[in-house]
Structure 1
């Protein structure tokens, strides 16, 4: 256990999901008077389970995505009229681990966050042979996080590109051209110009205060530089120059007093946004959730652009979060589950129904992108009003080619929040230096997590 005092985190649990976090944070915001919102898997070759009739049980979280996925069943049944889809709303994070461990009432397929995938890898089917026709057309990052020991056992679903959200009107008022923000040094310089224009209460750059979310956030910055907490061989990479670049950036924002520290979309964060205190949000595409659904005064004033680079001319693409689908090793009908996910992820009928305008999202699902490259060729969701009808699809898809593919989630990723996530917060408290954050986190993870595997 860490000897450091622990901060309350939405993510200090066995597994976490950004969608659960969004739901929890939105509930807290509504309660405050804000807007209420409704690898060693078994190989499939030679199993003999390749029929096209029967019942397939699919687990998804209740809520918006469940309804979106549910609506694709009709088009699936046009292809496979003899397959009955039993679509079950489940608290996947809490129920899936114990179900896979006991082998009792195991579903045929389930939705799962990418950071949670390695923990239960031994319980997944090896789908390498089935997915092979599509692998060359899957975003490399997503294929990598679903691959263990050279075999594929997850069906990549959404891609969550990192973007820089900014207040267009505030930048115009301060004479800052968004195109001039090419590097993180440029972002700091722009933040100073905004503060000079709008006064000391304007601290333009969002600094994440939740330990779990801040670790996810930092991993986006790391992915942009082509690294992750561990490499493919499991070697720890935290105490390295790319991570030091990130810590130095966060420390500069803190010491130069140009950052507002808050939990993403918490009541305090939304208030700071609405009071013109925050003008820059380097985050995943799903931050559009704020301008679209939470922000009232500043709705329509936000825009998106690629992340700044760590050095001029460097990569401006990265990923923050994401989810996939898994087929349990003990599934009764694994091939039927594969057919369902093949339809959902890789067929135009499937991904168009999910991401295009639908009953749940009249303008389409705009908080992520498909990870299947052919699905990116034609705009699926509409331009969001929260961004002044900017073409978010064009901005986000334009970064995909720059997303480094060599990213690995450690099986102890969630447990590392008690160390790395907590130490990032100590940096923002001014209690640790950038170097100390990395050295201390690496030592704690090595001793308390890696050595005990």
Structure 2
């Protein structure tokens, strides 16, 4: 999250958006205006063919092999066209060119709206996707549907939790915070005890910021078709900025970028005491911070109001079918297989964090001990978080672009007298101007 978006992606989006935006404001787009008989999918599987899948998620390799074993006439070609915005650039370019698009594409939840409003991905409801409404946890399902239209099927999720260094907290007699006010106090206590210890790191990240605003009840975006309103002055957003500004002003947050060498070092040596991040993080700690095995634990995300249980998503992606796909029935068959039932269970076994209720609630999943966390059954914390993700949330239909300019606006609050409130206002103005220039009706 927070990676800059290339000019290629923005330029391609403008071309595609100009084609699709005029007819997107109302109604649910269907497949060429009609429905799809499930028998068509069965017939396509019997006939066979090739399905090209653009995805960077490694667990899909096992799923693809299992699918081909079950349907020997179908060939699944997995293509790594780049991660995140790099793939989106290639996908938008292929759509704009009218050739070269895959049959299935991995698209993160925050980016899906951009493709949906441009009418460049299929509505999967005619295939029967609505029958899976109860299969997925609230956050991911909310992210892929609009009204009766389903623009993708959830592949994984990132319900948030507080990862904390128990060794550091115990050493200094600090209790694990259950509220954000307690979090600030813990930050002060730890830093006073040892000035080398910071409660966390942050140099400005759009995904992390919007996730915590979401948890606080902030609703900075309201999107209805091509009408967009902004509000970064709501109570939830103000809760976030007031708290996080204290941490910045008192220099309790390390000015270290996530995924940098300094970040991994801080997580390993205890100078970074916590992370508020998605449930996909354990694998990264196990592989990247192996020397701290046994030091870390997982706790529920601190709350903005004592006694609350609200959580938020941080990361996660879906599988969508581009309008330009050549084998749509086969593409849906694979998408459904990979995201539900045995395909989803296989991906969880391979290390993915589930978006499916059945996998999230299975006893084997809940009882799984994590040696890295001292044998803690961390999935119980993650599962509870997934059940409590706030669904009253919208991304911008050009959130990829919005995130790309975060550092130029809100990012200034991390190394200058600019406040987070001022930074968010500048971000809002820049995003509103961009939307207005692209044909959206913008207010706020």
Q: Report TM bin, short chain.
A: 0.7 to 0.9
Match of 1:124 in 2: 121
> Residue 173 and residue 352 in structure 1: after superposition, are their counterparts in 2 closer, same or farther (change >3 A)?
same
Give the TM-score of the pair, scaled to structure 1.
Answer: 0.82
| 1:11 aligned to which of 4, 10, 22 | 4
Deviation at 1:228, TM superposition (A): 4.4
> Residue 317 and residue 43 in structure 1: after superposition, are their counterparts in 2 closer, same or farther (change >3 A)?
same
Match of 2:316 in 1: 322
Segment drifting more, 243-252 vs 86-95: 86-95
Deviation at 1:15, TM superposition (A): 9.2
Match of 1:194 in 2: 190
1:155 partnered with 2:153: yes
1:288 partnered with 2:295: no
**Matches of 2:271 and 2:89 in 1, distance apart?**
37
Local SS of the residue matching 2:297: strand
**Matches of 1:258 and 1:71 in 2, distance apart?**
43
Deviation at 1:139, TM superposition (A): 2.0
Segment drifting more, 104-113 vs 396-405: 104-113
Whether the aligned pair in 2 keeps the contact of 1:306 and 1:316 (CA below 8 Å) is no
Deviation at 1:319, TM superposition (A): 0.5
1:301 partnered with 2:312: no
> Residue 56 and residue 172 in structure 1: after superposition, are their counterparts in 2 closer, same or farther (change >3 A)?
same
| 1:338 aligned to which of 332, 338, 344 | 332
- Note the 1:87-106 alignment, pairs <5 A: 87-91=78-82, 92-106=87-101
Local SS of the residue matching 2:272: coil
Match of 2:20 in 1: none
Deviation at 1:380, TM superposition (A): 4.1
Match of 2:345 in 1: 352
Local SS of the residue matching 1:87: strand
Deviations 1:234-262 (A, max 9, x none): 32132322222222222111122221121
**Matches of 2:424 and 2:35 in 1, distance apart?**
47
Match of 1:374 in 2: 358
Whether the aligned pair in 2 keeps the contact of 1:228 and 1:237 (CA below 8 Å) is yes
RMSD: 2.5
Deviation at 1:223, TM superposition (A): 1.9
Match of 2:412 in 1: 426
> Residue 383 and residue 422 in structure 1: after superposition, are their counterparts in 2 closer, same or farther (change >3 A)?
farther
**Matches of 2:370 and 2:328 in 1, distance apart?**
38
> Residue 47 and residue 134 in structure 1: after superposition, are their counterparts in 2 closer, same or farther (change >3 A)?
closer
Deviation at 1:389, TM superposition (A): 2.8
Deviation at 1:407, TM superposition (A): 2.0
Whether the aligned pair in 2 keeps the contact of 1:228 and 1:409 (CA below 8 Å) is no
* Structure 1, unaligned runs of 5 or more: 1-8, 17-38, 357-363
Local SS of the residue matching 1:330: coil
**Matches of 2:317 and 2:135 in 1, distance apart?**
17
Give the TM-score of the pair, scaled to structure 2.
Answer: 0.83
Match of 1:140 in 2: 138
Match of 1:32 in 2: none
Match of 1:417 in 2: 403
Deviations 1:357-389 (A, max 9, x none): xxxxxxx41xx5211212212244953333223
1:438 partnered with 2:424: yes
Whether the aligned pair in 1 keeps the contact of 2:294 and 2:371 (CA below 8 Å) is yes
Whether the aligned pair in 2 keeps the contact of 1:41 and 1:329 (CA below 8 Å) is no
* Structure 2, unaligned runs of 5 or more: 10-23, 440-444
Local SS of the residue matching 2:292: coil
Match of 1:46 in 2: 35
> Residue 334 and residue 307 in structure 1: after superposition, are their counterparts in 2 closer, same or farther (change >3 A)?
same
Deviations 1:304-345 (A, max 9, x none): 111101111223411011110111222222111111121111
Local SS of the residue matching 2:133: helix
| 2:213 aligned to which of 219, 222, 231 | 222
Segment drifting more, 128-137 vs 375-384: 375-384
Whether the aligned pair in 2 keeps the contact of 1:244 and 1:438 (CA below 8 Å) is no
Deviation at 1:14, TM superposition (A): 5.8
> Residue 47 and residue 276 in structure 1: after superposition, are their counterparts in 2 closer, same or farther (change >3 A)?
closer
> Residue 405 and residue 215 in structure 1: after superposition, are their counterparts in 2 closer, same or farther (change >3 A)?
same
**Matches of 1:406 and 1:303 in 2, distance apart?**
29
Local SS of the residue matching 1:71: helix
| 2:262 aligned to which of 268, 280, 286 | 268
Match of 2:76 in 1: 85
Match of 1:251 in 2: 245
**Matches of 1:296 and 1:246 in 2, distance apart?**
32
Count of equivalent residues: 403
Match of 1:26 in 2: none
Match of 2:17 in 1: none
Deviation at 1:78, TM superposition (A): 4.9
- Note the 1:164-183 alignment, pairs <5 A: 164-178=162-176, 181-183=177-179
